[in-house]
Amino acid sequence: MACCGHCQEAGELFTDEKARTELREYRRNGAPNTPTRLLIDGLKTLDLSSTTLLDVGGGVGMIQHELMEAGVSEATLVEASPAYLKVAENETRRRGHADRASFRHGDFVDLAPKLPEADLVTLDRVICCYPHMTELIQASTAKATRWYGLTYPRTRWFLRWAKPVTDLYCWWKDMDFRIYLHEGVDEAIQSAGFRRFYQTETFLWNVALYERPEAVTT
């Protein structure tokens, strides 16, 4: 399979074994990490019936699986890691949603011009895996006709201090992959025409939901 530079990096970290472990945990206990659960709970308060979803960096597909069961009619999942994409696709088939879902492998920013718009676009713990925050937010907000939901790391001082340690770990493991603590995420989303209507934090993560004001009044 042809692979972009970013997909190569994502594939080094988000491996087959990791994907299978995450899926096993998700099947057993539901979404295993708090920001994902908070994002899903926030999104479930919206009227999702007959809406479309575009999940960027969807991992094993937790958001997609949950929201398809909560009314989303069609979903597209984009993943840089082929292992995660395959696991997400198999799980979608197992849940009987395959005819309403599509799966795309690649760097979302490269694929975006060819992807459909959706009522809701989600990025759960993805911005921190990508070096070009502005491009990722511009490309993904442009696809969201109604809502935009995401989780991303808080820029706390100890995370800043931990960053060189994670960089060193990746270097030691001979991986090009890095974690990024981007500033200005909220501002970038608001300047793309979105209004934040929900925000919460965990110890490490921001969880936020946005809407397009013009889509709310029409």
Ligand X SMILES: C[S@@+](CC[C@H](N)C(=O)[O-])C[C@H]1O[C@@H](n2cnc3c(N)ncnc32)[C@H](O)[C@@H]1O
In whole angstroms, the minimum distance from the beta carbon of 62 to ligand X comes to 6
Q: At what angle do helices 5-13 and 82-94 cross, to 10 degrees?
A: 70
**CB burial class (10 A; 0-12, 13-18, 19+) of residue 110?**
middle
Choosing from 72, 87, 126, 137, the residue that interacts with ligand X (CB under 6 A) is 126
Choosing from 74, 107, 119, 211, the residue that interacts with ligand X (CB under 6 A) is 107
Mark the segment that binds ligand X (CB under 6 A) among 92-100, 118-126, 176-184, 194-202.
118-126
Token pair of 153 as six digits: 């790391």
Assess contact for 141 and 194: CB atoms under 8 A: yes
Q: Which residue from 104, 68, 84, 80 is spatially nearest to 22, judged by alpha carbons?
A: 84
Interface positions, 142-181, toward ligand X (CB under 6 A):
none
In whole angstroms, the minimum distance from the beta carbon of 130 to ligand X comes to 4
Interface positions, 31-90, toward ligand X (CB under 6 A):
36, 56-59, 62, 78-81, 84
Residue 14 CA to residue 32 CA, distance in Å, equals 16
Q: Which is nearer to ligand X, 202 or 215 (CB)?
A: 202
Residues 143, 191, 138, 87, CA torsion sign: negative
Choosing from 125, 145, 180, 186, the residue that interacts with ligand X (CB under 6 A) is 125
Q: Which residues bind ligand X (CB under 6 A)?
A: 6, 10, 14, 36, 56-59, 62, 78-81, 84, 107-109, 124-126, 129-130
